[in-house]
Structure 1
């Protein structure tokens, strides 16, 4: 709760009315749910167990919540009357969240990102017009009801799908696609449950991508059940199968600047003539040391979408062994943990990156989404030192739609660079792909963000037209034609880093640890990794 606010009696009375109305509506729904549970045609020990748990855990909790809402409404009316009788509103001012980010041990300070319209979920966000004594129990109660309801709905959906799957399986019908649909539907349910219980507010991009994936998986389930044929479309099999590790132990020059990081990322891209499917992909890992000693830090490079083109179905949506395909783009934006993330974790393990090591993850396009999703995962980005965890100090990405997550650690700096996209009389301009996250827009008019989650928008290249392909070639690629470092994001960084406050601060932040004088690459590894056959 930030700051102090005087009571507005009329607003409190209005809210008291809403509390009483909510109590009545909740009691009505409880009665309907209770009747449905008691009359459902389901017999046996499992049915009796479920009805018992409904009575003990749901019915009693909902009844108690109705009573609590009524009591809170009555108390709010009393407080409003007392406020009118004893004092006028005091006009207290609200506090501000002045938290920012900077380096842990001194150095450059990356300017905090704007955080004025961020919504985290009603359990985390303060309602300045509601007194604390009212807000906390109300939010706890509403969250509990939403959780119970979500569990009941999820149980019903899963039970129905399980019955269908078992029934079809017993007569020899292929059900792998139905199981895939169930996993994707469960993920959508988790997103909605977190939203309903006030744990977090999803973005429109996340909701849309999750809905697309689930709809596609439903089609897969129907297709496989009807035809008996297996299709790899939207296959969600895991990755992390390492097939080769090439190690160079020779001492080498470390990257000098942000432009070098982009060039190193581009060098890992694999040739795919005609956008043919690829069997695997490459992850680059550099061990960087300081000339004066100390523990090393690590640069992890994740290239963009590779292999089969977007029109290759199912090649680009689950069939190829390289997991950074177009299907993974959807699953990543939907907030899932697809094979592309498994590949990075397996590559880091194969390269012997020690748990707890300081890590900078660099990505272009999908590689940047992977970087930010890993940084947002507390089971990966952590200072605990547990196996498989690393201290992600920074993520740096170009052309990536990453405004669907924030880092799990407040000390992680996430910076993404994009060329400003738009449409006009001359057609498209800028990097359209980087805009597919819809700027982190959330239901309710807010945007997902954090003080350590930065978006840097640069001027686009002067290429416009109704055909988006040449526009994207100029504005989305990491390098120019023929790997020209003066083009693409590489060229824009070379021209803009010194003048942009976030980019210049980021480069200063990385200097001496990952970049520049006083550092060198002690070991460089390229790990070939992917997923098995569908």
Structure 2
């Protein structure tokens, strides 16, 4: 059970990408600067065209017979000011050129970043495939069980799935299917409050957050979530919302909100009925638009947490500041989040699920991905909150990495509560 998880006394080193200590080309700033130069270019060239009209203005031309020297001097000086070196026309053309150069540079940075991520997946995929095949072959020879062989191949290196997913074009197929599958709308049914175990204690550290998510994940209700209202010293509030993962593998219409329909839509960034239910539960629990909110999700729940944060902030409905995901494929969606939303993505190096979107998480200042090797070597165990992700959270918590520390320091208020009220809901789908 989630409440019975015990922390591993020996944290392990982690691999970290993104976050405050990561690297990123700020192409948005280049685009803004380019537009400014473009605006200056337009102003300068427009003014230059207007001023050129004075060269042939009737009043000016009529004065030539009376003062030919003065007229000639005026014409020469105006032409020089407009069309000479560093003249107004020159400045306009130069600013226009800088506009184009900056736009081209921003596009090149984006293209290189996209190509680098694609090549990263392709190259690593080619390296990983033989290793996975060898592990699968050995298990098949030993057990003569194809399922056991497949599991051994995946456990040997789950990253091979990135390559397979891309080669099969699965994201495009999923995007097409998710557009036509009926999703209905989500409804939040209140199940009361929970004061048992982690649900009854304000969290003090990252492992406490994952522990409460594990407890909610063990709920017998499919689509169980909770909204935790945390009271701070002095009377302030923070809110943590726990969003559980897949319980139903049905691809067809079902009231179970955690079904494959939600998975497919959330994987490619579409809003879902599950998201609607989460937002409804937050409203019913009394979350205010100015409350700072952290969304926490496992697997499918992490994907839904990302799209919910994106839509809640864009609409101004709720003020989501932080998102924590555990074992969630969010490489295609995390980049859509506003930069004000900080993400900590926990990934088990042995877990296949974070690779199901076929792409790595973006390296952005607001997206920190922490990876360590945990679990028990089975597909289920390597994805479990109890056997894998509680310990990945322990490893992240103990890490001195700058990006991880920056996230945890920024989220410190969520760990300073004096009291917590945990409202539990079941999100169901209606058609």
By the TM > 0.5 criterion, same fold?
A: yes
Instruction: Report what 2:24 is aligned to.
Output: 115
Residues 346-425 of structure 1: matches in 2 within 5 Å? Answer: 346-377=280-311, 380-381=312-313, 386=316, 389-405=317-333, 406=335, 408-420=337-349
- Summarize deviations over 1:295-342 as a string: whole Å, max 9, x none: 311001111112x23xxxxxx224221212222111112221111111
Instruction: Report what 1:305 is aligned to.
Output: 246
Separation of aligned partners in 1, 2:328 and 2:33: 28
The alpha-carbon distance between structure 1 residues 448 and 258, as it changes in their structure 2 partners (threshold 3 A), is closer
Instruction: Report what 1:524 is aligned to.
Output: 422
- Summarize deviations over 1:447-495 as a string: whole Å, max 9, x none: 84421111112134473xxxxxx2x223211112xxxxxxx11023224
Tell me if structure 2 keeps the 8 A contact 1:398–1:489. Answer: yes
Instruction: Report what 1:133 is aligned to.
Output: 96
Residue 242 (str. 1) matches residue 188 (str. 2): yes
Tell me if structure 2 keeps the 8 A contact 1:369–1:401. Answer: yes
Q: CA deviation at 1:407?
A: 5.5
Q: CA deviation at 1:437?
A: 2.9
Separation of aligned partners in 2, 1:514 and 1:496: 17
Residues 321-360 of structure 1: matches in 2 within 5 Å? Answer: 321-360=255-294
Residues 36-435 of structure 1: matches in 2 within 5 Å? Answer: 111-116=20-25, 133-134=96-97, 136=99, 208-215=170-177, 234-239=181-186, 241-247=187-193, 252-269=200-217, 280-293=222-235, 295-306=236-247, 308-309=248-249, 316-377=250-311, 380-381=312-313, 386=316, 389-405=317-333, 406=335, 408-420=337-349, 430-435=350-355
The alpha-carbon distance between structure 1 residues 135 and 305, as it changes in their structure 2 partners (threshold 3 A), is farther
Separation of aligned partners in 2, 1:432 and 1:125: 41
Instruction: Report what 2:359 is aligned to.
Output: 439
Separation of aligned partners in 2, 1:271 and 1:452: 31
Instruction: Report what 1:475 is aligned to.
Output: 382
Separation of aligned partners in 1, 2:276 and 2:344: 22
Q: Which has the higher helix share?
A: 2
Instruction: Report what 1:503 is aligned to.
Output: 404
Tell me if structure 2 keeps the 8 A contact 1:407–1:453. Answer: no
* TM-score w.r.t. length of structure 2: 0.59
SS at match of 1:381: helix
Report how many residues are paired. Answer: 290
The alpha-carbon distance between structure 1 residues 204 and 394, as it changes in their structure 2 partners (threshold 3 A), is farther
Separation of aligned partners in 1, 2:364 and 2:33: 13
Tell me if structure 2 keeps the 8 A contact 1:419–1:460. Answer: yes
Tell me if structure 2 keeps the 8 A contact 1:210–1:331. Answer: no
Tell me if structure 2 keeps the 8 A contact 1:381–1:392. Answer: yes
Tell me if structure 2 keeps the 8 A contact 1:286–1:521. Answer: no
Tell me if structure 1 keeps the 8 A contact 2:217–2:224. Answer: yes
Tell me if structure 1 keeps the 8 A contact 2:171–2:358. Answer: no
Tell me if structure 2 keeps the 8 A contact 1:396–1:414. Answer: yes
- Which fold has the larger relative contact order, with Cα–Cα distance below 8 Å and residues 6 or more apart in sequence? 2
Tell me if structure 1 keeps the 8 A contact 2:347–2:392. Answer: no
Tell me if structure 2 keeps the 8 A contact 1:245–1:350. Answer: no
- Summarize deviations over 1:61-107 as a string: whole Å, max 9, x none: xxxxxxxxxxxxxxxxxxxxxxxxxxxxxxxxxxxxxxxxxxxxxxx
SS at match of 1:298: strand
Separation of aligned partners in 2, 1:248 and 1:215: 38
The alpha-carbon distance between structure 1 residues 458 and 497, as it changes in their structure 2 partners (threshold 3 A), is same
Q: CA deviation at 1:402?
A: 1.0
Gaps of 5+ in 2: 1-18, 36-92, 104-164
Separation of aligned partners in 2, 1:135 and 1:325: 51
Separation of aligned partners in 1, 2:300 and 2:29: 27
Q: CA deviation at 1:415?
A: 0.9
The alpha-carbon distance between structure 1 residues 132 and 330, as it changes in their structure 2 partners (threshold 3 A), is farther
Instruction: Report what 2:392 is aligned to.
Output: 492
Tell me if structure 2 keeps the 8 A contact 1:209–1:331. Answer: no
Separation of aligned partners in 1, 2:304 and 2:34: 31
Q: CA deviation at 1:399?
A: 0.7
Pick the aligned partner of 1:458 from 346, 368, 372: 372
* TM-score w.r.t. length of structure 1: 0.48
The alpha-carbon distance between structure 1 residues 342 and 131, as it changes in their structure 2 partners (threshold 3 A), is farther
- Summarize deviations over 1:191-219 as a string: whole Å, max 9, x none: xxxxxxxxxxxx979x853533425767x
Tell me if structure 1 keeps the 8 A contact 2:195–2:201. Answer: no
Separation of aligned partners in 1, 2:411 and 2:405: 10
Instruction: Report what 1:85 is aligned to.
Output: none
* Coordinate RMSD, CA, aligned: 3.6
